[in-house]
Structure 1
Amino acid sequence: MHIKRFTLTSKKNWWMVELDEEEESPPKSAIHPPPPYTTDHSLHRDDPHRHDSAHVRARSRSRQRSRPPTRPPSPEQYNPPRRPNAIFSFPTPSIYSAGPNPTASMQPFTQGSASELFKCVVKKPEYVTLEINGEVQSNAIDVATQFLAELRVYTTVSHHRNLPVFLGCLDGVGMVMEYIEGRTLYQFMKDGELTRSRKCDFHNQLLDAMCHVHSFGLSHGDLSTLNIQVTHNGTTLKLFDFGRSVAATSVFAPPDGEPVDPFAWMTANPSATPRVEQIHPGTRPFSAPEILRGECQDACLADAYSFGMILVCLERSELVDAKPWEQRKDKLPTDLFNGCTMWVDRIKQYLARFDSRRRLMMEDMVMILDD
């Protein structure tokens, strides 16, 4: 049987494909000859590492099918070295790659005859090492924890209009995300641009984004007016900075305890040992009281508390504050709800104790009111 061998390239990966002439040939547009600077990677029948032709043909055809909108969980197990920079060491594992057609919802800032250019942000780990009293101290474990938590969100949660587009990773550098032109919600409120209808719209967008993240069993962990970006046209919210995200099924350790190894869960048997994650307070005054006390048992309920605090800020069109030593006792300032008229009763349910607190639900969407 006459067999042709084609070498297909996909970024850093080489795909060796054997095709039988009697089989249906692939379209010519899918076949790319090796570039002139590469060597011949043809397979031989006595090569013990060659791919079975039928198997490779099946895999080649399966890769051409349209993928579902949500990515199925990958069976691949990745055990990165215990240094933050090594998370992105070459080769970056495929589990940290972007989803199908990630730029579909992005607008290029310019176009050429054969390419489109997009603005993006590269986020790379930076940690500090200090010598204190003759001992070396470092925040490397915490930095690694935050990057692994953020990567888990972007590679687990499907596309949503209120989340930044994840574009994959750069080997040896970090993660790549879309560049969002605009201001933080804090700055937007400070500039006095919150109308009544915009408050309702922002309420719905933020609730939609949070419910979407929670539906994948993940929390945000640091929801605040500083971690919400308003696009330059002032119509769309983008929720970002998931470095304090935790899984809903994890066992939570208090923030003042011994640091939890962020890599330990990767080698443990998930059916036998639940994942232990350290849950840290977020931005003041948005952190839930149970997190401040080191007693959090439901991270999604803690997000609901943060959401309630953001609604107070939206209602009052200003940043509010609460004393953390009072907040940890589930006490709120007596004047916190001054100026709140739109959702004050529901806000109080979000800011209640965790055992009677209202959860975030899509059913709580509000009507857009006229200005």
Structure 2
Amino acid sequence: MIEAVGLTKRYGAKTAVYNLSFQVRPGAVTGFLGPNGAGKSTTMRMILGLDNPTAGTVTVCGAPFRQVPNAPRQVGALLDAKAVHGGRSARNHLLSLAQLSGIPARRVDEVLGVVGLQEVAKRRSKGFSLGMGQRLGIAAALLGDPQVLLFDEPVNGLDPEGILWVRNLMKQLAAEGRTVFVSSHLMSEMAVTADHLIVIGRGQLLSDMSVKDFISANSADFARVRTPHTEPQQREKLSAALTEAGGSVLSEPDGALRVTGLALPQISDLAHASDVRLWELSPHQASLEEAYMRMTQGAVDYRSTDDQKAGLMQPQQFGYAPPPQQVPDVPQQGWYAPPPPGAQPAGPVGPVSDNPYAAAPPGAPGQHAPAAPPVAPPAAAPADLTKPEDAR
């Protein structure tokens, strides 16, 4: 299992990750999502001991990575498929890793077969395509037959067959009881591969829940209704009846109606009572991509001018208002110590609603804090919360 508690990483005045707490449990594929610059790579580097956290801790198998005995046999990772000596063959690259970790040479040939590189095992890796490099990186992660696996964009450069193979591999590894942590920007793959999602934005936790719950919590399901296009009066008649019944009706460019607030049987009954013929009555459930876009609208750093013209700079239109990105000073060493339960924070903290990522009016009752403990904001927050080289 991977567990992070109050994880924070600063690079000078820039904060890449702030007060991040989560658990990655065995037996499931956990997707790690977030926009570019969100801090995903920095978080993975801290998990693997490549970067030291400014505050907080992260453990793998119950201990910091550097204290895990015989770590290559416990933890496997693919962070950068290009981190290979180009003059070595695929087999020699894996063989050198095996010798450093006391892994038998026969295991090298086994993983080459698993990733499908047995036919090119003697070729120098500098001549590999991007997809072949990814397969070699996955082979290196599997070399020690570890119980914990981390993959950063594992399907990058793979063809459809390779993507399907990686998908099945991740599911198989999780089914064996292993901990599988996968970072990816391909929402379509995460929707069919991941069981659980951890979503971060600008270094802070946005969501930690199952894929099904994530889509349900960040989507607005609706019914699509279509009447005969030759009879516009029926469309108007149905729209009036649905509105009177308490539904919200919007017109779509193709002439259909988008209805929210009413169940499909109720829409059908209202159409029948109004003597309106229906050509279509179908439910629409948001995809993972739609739910993700809704959740992270306020955490995207880079926008084209076309996005701004389209109004995508206004997350409030999706019912999401990002929390203020104010990061207090934290100690350079040791734990970040949250206040004990029931204790008052050191300074004024705004109220937070049941949805910690939705805006709430000052003084609103019945509110509680999100999972991360509240802290007092400083006089001025850092202007840039990302590190281009490591945080994404």
TM-score after normalising by structure 1: 0.24
TM-score after normalising by structure 2: 0.23
Higher RCO (CA < 8 A, seq sep 6+) = 2
The structure in which a higher percent of residues are strand is 2
